[in-house]
Amino acid sequence: MRRVVRTLIAAAVAVVAACGGALGAPDRTAPPANAGALAAAYRDFLDAGRTPADIVAWTTTRSPGWRRIDPLATKAARVAPGDRLVFVDRDRTALFVVVGRRPLAGAGARLVCGHIDTPAPRLRADALVDDAGEARLVTYRYGGARRHHWLGIPLGLVGRVATAGGDEVAVRLGFAGDGFSFYATDERDGSAVAIAASTHAAKETPSHTFARELYRRYGITAADLATAELYLVPAWPARDVGVDRAFVGAHGQDDRLNSFAAWRALIDAAGDEPPERTMVAWLVDREEIGSTGPTGARSRFLDTVFSWLLRAEGAADDERTLARAFAASAALSADTPAALNPNFPEPHVARLAPRLGGGPVLFPYAGRRGKQGSHLARAERIREVVDLFASAGAPLQVAELGKVDAGGGGTISKYLAERGIDVVDVGIPVVSMHSPLELSAKADLWHGYRAFRAWLRGAAQAH
């Protein structure tokens, strides 16, 4: 990968037209009137949601009227068509559900699923070291972050720490208002990024200076860092890009771009009359490291929620009934494909490359090396996606994730398919994927939001 960052210059006439002019001061809670209003809410989401736990907290608190449910409750409360429910596991994954008129056991559900984790340096257990008059935080890669991208930019520290006293403390350090930031100075042994945290203070080592600040703000000791879930992320906020404000530049848009669109589409679709089939938006964790763990797509969380819903409808929740509900369901795995970068076109076949401003991207298969690890969508389900997106007025690009046997990637689609759910990979694209500043088009976000809303309801919305 090239290490020289060059300016991306792109014509964006169609993008600007979709943005509805000046942003003004949109109501961030009402359904968005245009792409500009939706992008303003999206920037708020990105700035607040620096970790999966942050995003779950942000989305649940901005979903008034939604009832939070413990799916492990032995007795499921009865539900009615139109009921709005949210299921949260370990504060790091959330399922938003609108109950449909037809029973889940026979009609299944309509799902849009995106992941809310993103590549970034994460603190190691032995993170805090003194080195040449500085306190340094030593990190390892979470996901597919490129280490050299993180050098020489202002960074903030964010996440959670489990203290010896039994508390779980949220940390947010080095952002606007603090008056300082952290700084990645070099790569350690080609495998870790060293972060400058503080320098010598009188009669103290640098690590004492840093630890004292943690204790002053949060009551955290240096020893507590061994039980921390802390990430270094760019300290800058999400921002408009280009003199025409056609783009959004921010860290973490893979895959928070699609996750936001899915969540917002469901929230706004819930305001309509009760849907024919149950609608679901799943914000899932751990995709960037293989969807492992209790909050990843390979966990049993989706099964647990479906079982609860079956009981709440008065149906059995045995293995056969659950299998029928999954088999009757259909999902979009909404992950972010890499759009063509004019400065770095080599990973793509140009005619099959996604482009910013061209709308969401349908990629019938993912995987790598002969499409190993891919989910191959059925032609009939792909046809439904194409027709629904067209009826919603959303352009749809059909593309690949990169050159055959050269590029590629994975999504959570295969884990949905293993449950018997029909699934298609569709996502809103970005340029500079997995970098500290990814680029997306406001028009693509707008079209993705409208298309996801149409998919969830199984019908087009007026446009």
Which residues sit opposite 128 in a β-bridge?
A: 137
Domain hosting residue 406, numbered range: 13-118+251-457
Note whether residue 18 is domain-resident: yes
Of 438, 101, 432, residue with least CA distance to 272: 101
Q: Which two tokens stand for residue 382?
A: 């792909």
Mean pLDDT by 10 residues, the chain (463 residues): 34 39 51 96 98 98 95 86 98 98 98 98 84 78 88 94 93 92 73 66 62 89 91 97 98 98 98 94 97 97 98 95 98 95 84 94 74 77 96 94 72 95 97 96 99 89 47
The verdict on 297 and 307 lying in the same domain is: yes
Of 406, 424, 405, residue with least CA distance to 414: 424
Note whether residue 193 is domain-resident: yes
Q: Would you say 302 and 67 are in contact if contact means Cβ atoms under 8 Å apart?
A: no
The verdict on 303 and 427 lying in the same domain is: yes
Of 428, 422, 433, residue with least CA distance to 452: 428
The verdict on 103 and 128 lying in the same domain is: no
CA angle 296, 376, 394 (to 5 degrees): 85
The verdict on 296 and 415 lying in the same domain is: yes
Query: What pLDDT sits at residue 24?
Result: 42
What is the CATH number for 207?
2.30.250.10
Distances (CA, A) of 142 to 145, 174, 298, 368: 7, 20, 18, 21
Note whether residue 245 is domain-resident: no
Note whether residue 1 is domain-resident: no
The verdict on 187 and 80 lying in the same domain is: no
Query: What pLDDT sits at residue 189?
Result: 56
Note whether residue 274 is domain-resident: yes
The verdict on 313 and 429 lying in the same domain is: yes
Rounded Cα distance, 233 and 457, in Å: 36
Domain count, the chain: 2
Note whether residue 452 is domain-resident: yes
The verdict on 318 and 354 lying in the same domain is: yes
Query: What pLDDT sits at residue 374?
Result: 67
Which residues sit opposite 366 in a β-bridge?
A: none
Distances (CA, A) of 433 to 154, 217, 284, 428: 19, 34, 19, 12
Distances (CA, A) of 352 to 98, 213, 440: 36, 51, 18
Note whether residue 317 is domain-resident: yes
Burial of residue 36 (CB within 10 Å: 0-12, 13-18, 19+) is buried
Burial of residue 2 (CB within 10 Å: 0-12, 13-18, 19+) is exposed
Which of the listed residues 234, 269, 297 is the one where a domain comes to its end? Answer: 234
The verdict on 197 and 281 lying in the same domain is: no
Query: What pLDDT sits at residue 207?
Result: 64
Q: Would you say 306 and 326 are in contact if contact means Cβ atoms under 8 Å apart?
A: yes
Is the torsion defined by CA of 239, 254, 225, 191 positive or negative? negative
Which of the listed residues 208, 234, 260 is the one where a domain comes to its end? Answer: 234
Note whether residue 17 is domain-resident: yes
Which of the listed residues 192, 207, 234 is the one where a domain comes to its end? Answer: 234
Residue 355: CB partners within 8 Å, gap ≥ 6? Answer: 339, 340, 397, 429
User: In this predicted model, what pLDDT tens digit does every residue of 227-261 receive, in sequence order?
Assistant: 999 999 999 999 999 999 999 999 999 999 999 99
Quote the pTM value: 0.90
The verdict on 259 and 197 lying in the same domain is: no
The verdict on 420 and 438 lying in the same domain is: yes
DSSP string, 197-257: EEE-BTTB-HHHHHHHHHHHHH---GGGGGGEEEEEEESSPPEEESTT--EEEETTHHHHH
Q: Would you say 85 and 97 are in contact if contact means Cβ atoms under 8 Å apart?
A: yes
Helix, strand, or coil (residue 344)? coil
The verdict on 183 and 271 lying in the same domain is: no
Residue 108: CB partners within 8 Å, gap ≥ 6? Answer: 277, 278, 325, 326, 327, 328, 329, 330
The verdict on 106 and 153 lying in the same domain is: no
Count of residues for the chain?
463
What is the CATH number for 413?
3.40.630.10
Q: Would you say 97 and 271 are in contact if contact means Cβ atoms under 8 Å apart?
A: no
Q: Would you say 261 and 445 are in contact if contact means Cβ atoms under 8 Å apart?
A: yes
